A and B are shown apart, each in its own frame.
Chain A
Amino acid sequence: MKRTTRNTYIFINLGLAALVPFGLICLARHERTTTPRWAIIQDMDKQPYYKAQRPSKLFADGRAMRPHIPGTLAQQDFIYINQAEARAHPRNWAKDHVILKNKKLYDSILFGQTLVSGHGQWLTQIPIPVTKRFVKRGQTEFNIFCEPCHGYNGKGNGTVNRWDQRLRKLGSPEAGTWVPPSNLLGPGVAYLSDGLIYNVVTNGVASMASYKDQIPVVDRWAIVAYVRALEKSQKVVPAAKLPYLIRTNLKPLPTPGSQ
C-alpha cells in the first residue's frame, strides 16, 4: 500500500470517528429520559429554601407548605383583578375589591345567608354589584369549572358526562356510579335563591363535590350571576308572539363579532 493512500484512509476514518459523538448526542436529544440531567457545576441551582409545594421532613404530613387555617381568609380571594390592570386603572381596583365591612356583609358574601330574626336565610340576590365585567368573569369561571359536567349551555351535558355515557354504553365497569348532572336551566335551579346556588357551588350537593378550594368566593358569586344570565337567555319569546309595536320595531340581529 502506498504511503499517501494509507494516510488518506487514516484521515477518512478519523473524520468518521469524529462524527460518532455528534451522532450519539443527536440520539440523546430525541430520546425521553426518566432521570433528571446531571449537573457538574451546580451554580446555586438548588438552594436550601422551600419553594411552593415541595416536600419537607420538618412536618408530619411531609409538606413544606402549611394548610389553610380554618376560620381565616386569604385577602387575595376578594380581589378579582390582576396587578397589571390594577396599576393601570386604580379606580377599577377599588371597585373590584370586595371589602367585608360588617358582619352582615361578611355573612352574606361568605355564606350566602342573612340573619332574619335570628335565623339564617338564603340571600335572594347577589351581594356584590353585578356589572357586565362581573358576569363575563362568571362566564370564564363557569366555562372552566362547571363546563366539564354541566356543559357550556348549562343543560347538564358536559364533556365528562358525555364520556361517562359512552363508557356506560360500552358496558365498561369504569362508568361507575356517575349520575348525569342536573340541568341548570330547568325549574329546579330557577326556583333556588341566589344564596342557595352559591352554597351548592361552595359545599356541593348530592354527588357534586365542593368547589370552595378551587374557586375563590367572589368568583363563585360571579358564577351564580352567569347561571342567572344563562337562564334568562333561555326565556326567549318567539318573535311572532311579541306585541305588534315591538315586533315591527325589531332590528336585525348583529352578525357575530360586530358587537
Chain B
Amino acid sequence: MSERPFFVFPKWSDWLTKVIVISSLVIPVYLVFLIAYGCSARTLNVNYQPIQPVPYSHAFHAGKLGINCEYCHTDVKRAAFAALPPTQTCLNCHSLIAAKSRELQAVRNSYGTGVKSLAGMSVPWVKVDDLPDYVYFNHAAHVNAGISCLVCHGKVNEMTRVYQAKPFNMAWCLNCHRNPAPYLRPRNEVTNLDWKGKNKVKLARDLGLTVATLPSNLGAYLLKRYHVPTVKILTDCETCHH
C-alpha cells in the first residue's frame, strides 16, 4: 500500500538547508567582527578635525616657533581645565605682527577692532578633544604627575589644524591607569612633545640628579617622586566619575 505523502520537501531544499546552517554559523561571527571594528572608539572618535574660525596652526606656533604650550594654555598646571587663551593672548604678538591679516578677522572682531557687533564676544572655537560629561578629567593632576600633553593629544606641534589623535574611550584611559609608569617623564619636559629621554645628561639635570645616580627604572622612580596614587586608587570608579 502506497499512500501519497502529505508534503514532500523539494529537491532544492537540501541545498537550502546547507545554506541556512552555514550562514547561521558564519554571519553572526562576521557581524561581531564587523561591529567591533566599525563601532570601535578608534574608528568613531579619532581623526575628528573641525574647521576653526581662525586657521591657527599649532604646527607653526608650537612646532616651528617653539612657543611653549603653556604660553596660551596657562592654567594647565593649576586647574582641571586647560583653558583656551583669551583674545588678548593672540594680540600680544598680533597687534604688531601680521596685524591686518585676513585670517585674524575673528580675533579682531572679538577684540573690538573689527565688526562692532561682535566686540567682546569670544572667538567661536570648536572643541576637538571632548570627554563625556560624566568624566571629570583634571589636567593639573596629570601634568604635575609628569604625563605629557602628547599622551592624550598626540603630536599637536605637527598639526596644522588640530584633530583628535586618541580614541578617548574608557579602555584607553585604563590602559595607562593600570600601569602608569611607562608614560611618566620629568615634569619640566611635559610640554616638550619631541622628548625621547635618551640624553642622560639632560635627564639628570631635569631631575636634579647626576648621571651616576640616575635611577635605572625611570618610571618607578617618578611614580614615587611625583606621588602618583596606587593603581588601586587610579582604577577606582570614584577617581574619574566623582
Contacts and interface: CB of A to CB of B under 8 A. Distances in A.
Interface of A: 18, 21-22, 25, 28-37, 43-47, 49, 51-53, 55, 61-63, 76, 82-85, 87-88, 140, 143-145, 147-148, 159-160, 163-164, 167, 173-179, 207, 209-210, 213-216, 256-259
Interface stretch (B46-54, B149-157, B171-179): B46-54
B235 interface: no
B contact patch SS? loop
Contacts of B121: 61-62
Nearest to B49: A32
Query: What range describes how many residues of B lie at the interface?
Result: 35 or more
A144 B101 contact: no
Contact of B47 (A33, A61, A88, A145): A33
Contacts of B51: 34
A148 B71 contact: yes
B70 A257 contact: no
Contact of B140 (A46, A61, A83): A83
Given A29-B47, A257-B210, A259-B210, A82 B71 contact: no
Contact of A25 (B43, B91, B93): B43
Given A25-B38, A53-B83, A83-B140, A44 B43 contact: no
Nearest to B38: A25
A211 to B, nearest CB: 8
A29 to B, nearest CB: 5
B30 A18 contact: yes
A167 B101 CA distance: 14
The 3 closest A-B pairs by CB, nearest first: A52-B81, A47-B133, A257-B201
A147 B68 contact: yes
